[in-house]
Amino acid sequence: MSLATVDSARQARPRERAANDWYVEPEWAVRGLLDVQRFSGLVWDPACGKGTIPRTFKAAGHAAAIGTDLVDRGYGRGGSDFLAIDPAHDANRAANIVSNPPFNLAEHFLRHALKLATHKIAFLLRLSWLEGRGRAWIFNETPLAAVHPFAARVSMPPGTVAQEAKGGAVAFMWAVWDWSHPVGAPPILRRIERKPE
């Protein structure tokens, strides 16, 4: 079966997901985050895949950007299970964690990132991720500071597909947690206006 785009209406059922949820965001979607958020200090993507996020940060002049991943995909350090990283060691912490986390583990990634990031966390997630009674803890118990939907659709093809897909059936957002934002206070809503490049 072809895996053209996440949740494509043309996909057969039952839906088959890419191994380890390796779906790759376009660089413009990362530049879109930089349009609306500032980061100081180290930026770490613990699910970096082929490195789209740290590469884009570096290209934008943010030199301190690194990546790790469970699987070695040719960027940063492979063989690193983010969920197994011990937050008790200061050396494992970073100022910022910025990632497109594996969708099926996104809540676990958030819980862990809250222990490891000292300043900000930015996750690229489906907009619908905000729904659900089970996710009330994200609004009540975390410093969710900003929600950034995209004006344009972000396509997110599997990393094994060479060509960049256009458009997409799923709405995505950047959600940002900031330890300077009071826990439980309402997040700001600011749309990313950048167009696909």
Which residue ranges make up the site for ligand SAM (CB under 6 A)? 20-25, 46-53, 69-71, 73, 81-83, 100, 102, 105, 159
Nearer to ligand SAM, 107 or 139 (CB): 107
CB 156 within 8 A of CB 196: no
Q: In angstroms, how far is CA 159 from the centroid of its own chain?
A: 15
Nearer to ligand SAM, 52 or 142 (CB): 52
What is the closest distance, in whole angstroms, from the C-beta atom of residue 186 to ligand SAM in the complex? 28
What is the closest distance, in whole angstroms, from the C-beta atom of residue 55 to ligand SAM in the complex? 8
What is the closest distance, in whole angstroms, from the C-beta atom of residue 103 to ligand SAM in the complex? 7
What is the closest distance, in whole angstroms, from the C-beta atom of residue 153 to ligand SAM in the complex? 17
Nearer to ligand SAM, 76 or 181 (CB): 76
Residues 6+ apart with CB under 8 A from 45: 51, 53, 54, 65, 66, 67, 68, 76, 97, 98, 99, 100
Q: How far apart are CA 109 and CA 52, in angstroms?
A: 18
Q: In angstroms, how far is CA 124 from the centroid of its own chain?
A: 3
CB 54 within 8 A of CB 32: no
Chain residue whose CB lies nearest ligand SAM? 49
Nearer to ligand SAM, 54 or 181 (CB): 54
